[in-house]
Amino acid sequence: MRDKLNEAKRIVIKVGTSTLMYPNGKPNLQAVDELAFTLSDLVNQGKEVIFVSSGAIGIGLNQLNMNRRPSSIPEQQAVAAIGQSELMTIYNRRFRTYNQQIGQVLLTRDVVDYPESRQNVINTLEQLINMQVVPIINENDSVSVDELDHLTKFGDNDFLSAIVAQLINADLLIMLSDIDGFYSANPTTDPTAVLYQQIHQLDQRLFDQAGGNGSGSQFGTGGMLSKLNAAQLVLANNQKMILANGKHPKIIFDLLEGRNIGTLFSKNQLEGAKK
């Protein structure tokens, strides 16, 4: 049953730009404060918390008074560099309120693809966790590129969070987005769309349905298809993932208490009904 989710000790929490930013491009400070409170309290409970945060480009656009994402790669990387600095400043202020230490870890795909650097990443994360520090992980957007001979991009932070869960052998990945879970169709346009309470196996039908579930916000990159790709990796590693609405980040407490909200991806069919 879902109530066993409270037994999860090592938890990766991924939050998308839609949770951190208002539609007008301003940072959602209430959501950030809720996140800091919730994650800090989880650490106080004895949980091991790893936080994968989007938002660098969204925050950077706000800092530069830009209302749309630039098209060129150098411009995007410059905006990300500015935004990442400000994002960590905001997090430092809010987590400090709850006496919780945080640490920044920026990753590129090539780092986790090579055994030696991959082990170094694992060692760093394990040490931070042992020190009861919350690692805040993001892709290093200011330098990562997608080249045929040197792949450095993860693609999006949905997939990055699944890789992080794999690296540290997490018990659970909680992914907060701007939708209540995974639907059979786009619920904003199709009134017959059904929310899946649990999915224990991914097939082409579900991937086809993901194409109509939304394509990410104007400030972020991850849509529903990227979340299914992340779930596929999670299931392949015999781990669990929950997709839920991050409008109020304290929902994390409800998820861990076993409330039947969001979509649980798990190979164990005894943990809930499929729909």
Q: What is the pLDDT of residue 144?
A: 66
Question: Are 79 and 86 contacting, i.e. CB atoms less than 8 angstroms apart?
Answer: no
H or E element, residue 264 = strand 263-265
117 is in an annotated binding site: no
- Give tens-digit pLDDT for 142-171: 776 554 344 456 668 899 999 999 999 999
113 is in an annotated binding site: no
177 is in an annotated binding site: yes
203 is in an annotated binding site: no
131 is in an annotated binding site: no
Q: What is the pLDDT of residue 251?
A: 97
Say whether pLDDT at 24 is over 70: yes
155 is in an annotated binding site: no
Please state, in angstroms and rounded to a whole number, the distance separating the CA atoms of residues 53 and 107: 12
Q: Count how many Cα atoms sit within 13 Å of the Cα of residue 227 in the half-sphere of its side chain.
A: 35
- Give tens-digit pLDDT for 46-67: 999 999 998 898 999 999 999 8
- Main-chain dihedrals φ then ψ at residue 141, nearest 5 degrees: -65, -20
- Give tens-digit pLDDT for 173-218: 999 998 899 998 888 888 888 999 999 999 898 988 887 554 444 4
- Main-chain dihedrals φ then ψ at residue 30, nearest 5 degrees: -65, -45
CATH of domain 2-271: 3.40.1160.10
97 is in an annotated binding site: no
157 is in an annotated binding site: yes
Instruction: Break the chain into its structural domains and give their ranges.
Output: 2-271
Please state, in angstroms and rounded to a whole number, the distance separating the CA atoms of residues 169 and 42: 18
169 is in an annotated binding site: no
- Give tens-digit pLDDT for 84-120: 999 999 999 999 999 999 999 999 888 888 899 999 9
54 is in an annotated binding site: yes
Number of Cβ within 10 Å of residue 271's Cβ equals 18
Q: What is the pLDDT of residue 215?
A: 45
- Give tens-digit pLDDT for 226-252: 899 999 999 999 999 999 999 999 999
Percent of the chain residues past pLDDT 90, beyond the cut: 62
